[in-house]
Amino acid sequence: MKKLVRENIENINPYKPGKPIEEVQRELGLKEITKLASNENPLGVSPKAVEAMRKSLGEVNRYPDGNSFYLRDKLARKLNIKPANIVFGNGSNEIIELSVKAFLYEHEQAIMSSPDFLIFKLAVLQEAGKPREVSLDNFYCNLKGILEAVCDKTKMVFIANPNNPVGTYIKEKGLEDFLNKLPEGIVVVLDEAYYEFARDAEGYPDSLRFLERPNVIILRTFSKAYGLSGLRLGYGLANEGLITALNKARQPFNVNYLAQAAGYAALDDDEFLQKTLKINEEGKIFIYSELNEMGLDYIPSATNFIMFNVKREADAVFQEMLKAGVIVRSMASYKLNSWIRVTVGTKDENQRFVDALRKVVKGEKL
């Protein structure tokens, strides 16, 4: 009998989303849950975006604008680039998928770091491409290793800068050398989901300098610093040729009505963005100092999350933290068996996280 499911799909180890918070709360009988697992914005949603969505709610009987005209125009002006250099997606996640769909043949290889954002590998497998993982070098993207891994089958390279889950970044000089050395005809997807948090870090690339290269796609998102994860809105920036290809690979109405309205308004809400960046920086300083006190190593992060070493089974620590009402992310699935990733929260959330961690690490009963 013919197999129904394509082999490449059958073999995928699926992404495991967590249970709804309310369900975890009910199961464990917890009064309060602090979710610090998905690098979301702890301040909520930009009030300007909420207002814009409210105004648009009564219009969702209409399909959205298939070109995101106003959002595109506003973003282009903000970034000082042409509207034709932008493609919008249902989250930047979708643009990862679109790029594989548009550029990678089945027999071709896409290189990515290990660990790095899981979706790179998943998107490649979904299109029956060949992922090739290159280990990080002491927690930093191993650009030299990636160049060495390039072969005649290589068609794409994915780099999250900063890296998720580690939080480290590559600097402009290193990135530019890498791009110069990479053989022609390889598409580089530079995922800057945490751009707003990282952009002032020393040496962080001004990647728009690479926009007119024939092979570079920069990804950014409204999910993190702009607090719109639940709406799914991200974008890719590249030369017109690549953008045209990505547009051909997408659905005509891939970005929904509310997302366009909210994204447009969020771009104007500098106050919300600045607040977000401020509490994130303060939160990181607080968590670093608490981890230092607990004698736990961490990787300094250019993002809104921190990866740290609990020197015990991360999965067990995750479970104990959960019982204490704090959801973090175990890195065991990345083979970092004693590492946990925590999203930086509000002051109160960070305190609750630290209090729970202290008890768990000491082995106290919660």
Residues near ligand PLP, by CB under 6 A = 39, 91-93, 117, 160, 164, 191, 193, 221, 223, 229, 234
* Nearest distance from C-beta of residue 155 to ligand PLP, angstroms: 20
Of 92 and 109, nearer to ligand PLP (C-beta) is 92
Q: How far is the CB of 221 from ligand PLP (least distance, A)?
A: 3
Q: How far is the CB of 260 from ligand PLP (least distance, A)?
A: 15
Please give the C-alpha separations between residue 36 and each of 39, 324, 341, in angstroms, as whole numbers.
Answer: 7, 13, 9
Strand stretches in the chain, DSSP E? 34-35, 86-89, 109-114, 130-135, 154-160, 187-191, 216-221, 234-237, 298-299, 305-309, 326-327, 329-330, 339-343
Question: For residues 92 and 99, which CB has a smaller minimum distance to ligand PLP in the complex?
Answer: 92
Nearer to ligand PLP, 34 or 164 (CB): 164
Q: From the CB of 31, what's the least distance to ligand PLP, in Å?
A: 28
Write the DSSP string, 334-353. Answer: GT-TTEEEEE---HHHHHHH
- Which of residues 39 and 154 has its CB atom nearest to ligand PLP in the complex? 39
For residue 326, give the 3-state DSSP assignment: strand
72 neighbors 233 (Cβ within 8 angstroms)? no
CB of 174 to ligand PLP, least distance (A): 18
Looking up tokens 């903000």, which residue turns up? 78
Residue 103 or 324 with smaller CB distance to ligand PLP: 103
- To ligand PLP, the closest distance from the beta carbon of 103 in angstroms equals 18
Residue nearer to ligand PLP on the CB measure, 164 or 247: 164
Distances (CA, A) of 212 to 82, 160, 292: 11, 20, 43
For residue 239, what are the contacts with CB-CB under 8 A and spacing of at least 6?
A: 85, 211, 212, 213, 214, 216
